[in-house]
Structure 1
Amino acid sequence: MSHRTTPTAAADAPHGDNRSTNGSDTMRLDDHRVVITAAGRDFGRTLAIRFADLGAEVYLSARGLEAAERVVAEIRDRGHERVHAFACDLTDPASIRDFASGVARHTDRVDLLINNGSRWLEGPDLLSATDTDVIDTITSGATGTVLTVKNFLPLLLNSDRPDIVTMVSACGTAGHHRSDAHDAFYTAKSAQAGFAEILSKRLRPQGVRVISLYPPDFDNADPLSEEWDTTPRGSQDALTSHSLVDCVLFAVGQPRDCFIKAFHFEQV
């Protein structure tokens, strides 16, 4: 999805009893193992940095390994060693399988899978994109998300607190028309929304919570810059990545009887 980029702690909780109050700095995730797709830049990078700051062991991917390794280096510079880089092309089923098997060589479980990957394609004119662009956009967002969950599900089922979070988009909401995204991007996001909806019902008996976020365009301040804490977050301001991270942390920090299915946001 499109977003704009601008340049404490509770006591450690035992495994299976992670608790939080309000805000992303009031919880710890020291025993959480978190997988994040498309974390080489933008909001995926933000998620990786913030989850590592809260103590989680992070397995992050990017389409190119070099981009993932850059984020790993940034995180390790902050004193967090439990972070791992992988290459994963969400349009390539073999690459997704390799990502999951690579993570499985490090851990026997995943507590949280964050589906952040989906190619952005701009253009309100259907004819403005090539056939290749259309295929790549729909494959990365729709097929890529389904195959990522499919390949990581065995590791998730080994956790006693498995959560799947998908960054959908307001473009995945029925009737939404306020984005300049291409029709193919709307299609990919609608597919993600439908997948998350049925998955939530079918995985609940196994204790897996499926959580979707539907943000409009948002301000993505660099979490390593002063703007992270100074970007305005008033009622008249655009949604921020800081608030989106707080939403994710709020949802995964709830007791296991609380299945928050979705976060929808008013667009300014």
Structure 2
Amino acid sequence: MDFEGLNVAVTGAGRDTGHLLATEFARRGARVFAGARSLSAAEETAATTGGEGFACDLGDPASVRAFAEAVAARTERLDVLINNGAPYLHGDLLDASDEDIAATITAGATGTVLLTRALLPLLRASARPDIVTLVSAAGEPGQHRSRAHPAFYAAKHAQSGFTEILSDRLRAEGVRVISLYPPDFVQRGERVTGAALTAASVVDCVLFAVGQPRDCFIREFRFEQV
């Protein structure tokens, strides 16, 4: 797949899946704007992709605005927004502090909404805009297999509701809104039948969806549980 000339913003790009997403889009010719809570991590990703890195703390509305403004200062359009960043929280309801619970929901839910809103004018300026959100199977109704904290479930259900209504309202404009619902997955591993889902496989799904012709609106990726 060739993404030459596309402008792509990736949140949570400082490590793991976000770093891999930024790397793979850049390898295919895209210009990548990498956002991460740590500026140094974003800049490290940018150094490997040839793009640009910025601080983007999804739990801080001012940081979200600053990231969107930095992207807008460097380009008149954004072709792909990948909402990857969201803090994971493990355990049961009593296992986390008030601060950790608030941070999980604020970054995963509110941060996603605010950043998408801030970048929507740039996306509307594109001839082929895509909004891709890595939700999680924890955002599926009735799915209880993840050992994530209930606050993480809450954040992911909020993301799911947000992307569902956004898909409905933006489709007429040609904006594709694509949601992925992977189960808990590993960063590295064998990509064989029966093994745990890998980050590389999740990233391949993103690349596939973004690479489809514009008459193809893939709304969701749902994954079988191992």
TM-score by length of 1: 0.83
CA contact (8 A) 2:108 2:156 kept: yes
Larger radius of gyration: 1
Counting aligned pairs with the same residue, the percent is: 61
The DSSP-based 3-state class of the residue aligned with 1:164 is: strand
Summarize deviations over 1:163-206 as a string: whole Å, max 9, x none: 00000001000111111100000000000000000000000111
Among 50, 53, 58, the residue aligned to 2:24: 50
More displaced stretch, 244-253 vs 55-64: 244-253
For residues 219 and 94 of structure 1, the distance between their equivalents in structure 2, rounded to whole angstroms, comes to 32
For residues 143 and 160 of structure 1, the distance between their equivalents in structure 2, rounded to whole angstroms, comes to 27
For residues 261 and 65 of structure 1, the distance between their equivalents in structure 2, rounded to whole angstroms, comes to 32
Q: Which residue in 2 is equivalent to 1:198?
A: 165
Q: Which amino acid aligns with 1:143?
A: T
The DSSP-based 3-state class of the residue aligned with 1:212 is: strand
Among 197, 209, 219, the residue aligned to 1:239: 197
Structure with bigger helix share is: 2
Q: Which residue in 1 is equivalent to 2:146?
A: 179
Q: Which residue in 1 is equivalent to 2:43?
A: 69
TM-score by length of 2: 0.98
Q: Which residue in 2 is equivalent to 1:100?
A: 68
Runs of 4+ in 1 over 3 A off after TM superposition: none
Q: Which residue in 2 is equivalent to 1:208?
A: 175
Q: Which amino acid aligns with 1:175?
A: G
Among 236, 243, 252, the residue aligned to 2:210: 252
The Cα of 1:267 is off from its aligned counterpart by 1.3
1:114-125 counterparts in 2 under 5 A?
Answer: 114-123=82-91, 125=92
For residues 137 and 219 of structure 1, the distance between their equivalents in structure 2, rounded to whole angstroms, comes to 20
The Cα of 1:232 is off from its aligned counterpart by 2.2
**Long gaps (5+) in structure 1:** 1-26, 76-80, 222-230
The Cα of 1:252 is off from its aligned counterpart by 1.1
For residues 169 and 190 of structure 1, the distance between their equivalents in structure 2, rounded to whole angstroms, comes to 9
Q: Which residue in 2 is equivalent to 1:133?
A: 100
For residues 254 and 74 of structure 1, the distance between their equivalents in structure 2, rounded to whole angstroms, comes to 26
Equivalent pairs, count: 226
The DSSP-based 3-state class of the residue aligned with 2:145 is: coil
CA contact (8 A) 2:17 2:203 kept: no
Structure with more contact order per residue of length (Cα contacts < 8 Å, sep ≥ 6): 1
**Long gaps (5+) in structure 2:** none
Please tell me the root mean square deviation across aligned C-alpha atoms, in Å.
0.9
